[in-house]
Amino acid sequence: MEDEKILSICIPSHNRADVILENLKDVLKIQDNRFDIVITDTSDRSGDYEKLLAIRDTRVKVIRNDVKSTAMENWFCALENADGIFAFHLNDRDKLIACNLLGFMAFLDRNKDCTGGVCKFLSEKEEPVLYCGVKNTVMNMPYFALHTTGMVFQMKSWRKIPDRKNIFTREKSGCHPHDMILGRLSVMGDMFLYTKHIWEMAPVEFYKKNLSGAGMMRFFEPKERLFELKCCLRELESLDVVGEELKVAKRLQMIKNYINLSTLGYFYHTESEYEAIHYGNTPQKYSILQKKKIIDKVLKLYRRELTLQGKTYASLKNWTYRNFIVGELAKKSHVIKSKQMRKLLRTMNRKRKLREDAMLR
């Protein structure tokens, strides 16, 4: 009897055949037929597609996609061709941790009824977390501007989304269509957050040498973040099975998250050397006063575009500045003489970062 295909590892590829081949070396040594690998290639560099075709493993399926396809169209094509119970998205620069793959598949095998999940190190919990019921799935899974690698979709539920192809366009979703899909899946059944180390991003050296794909250059800028938030808010409103009380709570959570991405997240992307260079920008350094001015502009932008008023806006403003001030003070804690004060600031900052890393869950 043929082994049941539990997982399709989906890799949209563009001019990175050598990187993929290196990253798959250990994975293909695993003697297990319950997973396969789907590579959709849009390379326009001579020899890349041929290198992928030369992989001698029956578990690897290479599909030639139109070289003019956008990154999102290629992502969609890879997922659409998955034939496992679950599909796992892996960017062509990122690496699956081979020694943890079997444990991950065992988890999926035990939770086949889940409509999908996220593989991220975003929780203080060491074990995977199951979210059951619409309230828990909606509040904990979608609309966080998640990195595409690490998304897991149950294919049976994926195919119930009639307009899924349209979601994979910038006009519909901003730069994070997978997040929209998680929203659709969150009202179909239980979901999971898999907290164990199953994949890792490309090293810093890679980011310094390689620019991001077209269309992703400016995704971290405040106006782009706001555009994406509006896409997500429209999507939330369209989920008929979500009650009004839950929508209000989710909306506030989403606005907080995107303000955070538009301020502290923006500073990280522009000040970090390898992040800035990777997106074709020159790294910048801001003074505290300059950061405050940027935060003020972002808050005014959000207030105007989302018609935020009264106590809601005041609460968001206080929350934003508290996060900012705690972080900045923690950076300067080494000059504070009081040991207790240094410890307090570092503890507060650690908790703040933990909340951010957990995507405000």
Q: Which residue has the tokens 């994949």?
A: 199
Please provide residue 260's backbone torsions phi and psi, each rounded to the nearest 5 degrees.
Answer: -60, -45
Q: Which residue has the tokens 């164990």?
A: 196
**Residues ≥6 apart with Cβ < 8 Å to 56:** none
**Residues ≥6 apart with Cβ < 8 Å to 163:** none
What's the pLDDT at 124? 62
Q: What is the DSSP string of 265-293?
A: HHHHHHHSHHHHHHTT-------HHHHHH
Closest CA to 91 of 20, 34, 42, 29: 20
* pLDDT above 90 (res 127): no
What's the pLDDT at 355? 62
Assign 333 a pLDDT band (cuts: 50, 70, 90).
low
Q: Please give the distance of CA 146 from its chain centroid, rounded to a whole number.
A: 2
Burial letters for 244-253: b for 16+ Cβ neighbours within 10 Å, e otherwise? eebeeebbeb
CA distance 304 to 283: 29
Q: Where would I find the H helices in the chain?
A: 17-24, 48-53, 71-80, 101-110, 134-140, 155-158, 164-167, 170-173, 177-186, 204-209, 222-238, 244-262, 264-271, 273-278, 288-305, 310-331, 339-357
* pLDDT above 90 (res 273): no
Assign 276 a pLDDT band (cuts: 50, 70, 90).
confident
* pLDDT above 80 (res 331): no
> Hey, what amino acid is at 143?
Y
What's the pLDDT at 329? 77
> Residue 284 CB: number of other CB atoms within 10 A?
12
Taken in order 82, 84, 89, 90, the sign of the CA dihedral is negative
Tell me the average pLDDT across 225-244: 95
Coil, strand or helix: which one is 59? Answer: coil
What's the pLDDT at 339? 76
What's the pLDDT at 207? 76
Assign 281 a pLDDT band (cuts: 50, 70, 90).
confident
Tell me the average pLDDT across 221-250: 95
* pLDDT above 70 (res 352): no
CA distance 282 to 27: 36
Assign 216 a pLDDT band (cuts: 50, 70, 90).
low
- Rounded to the nearest integer, the mean pLDDT of the chain is 90
* pLDDT above 70 (res 335): no
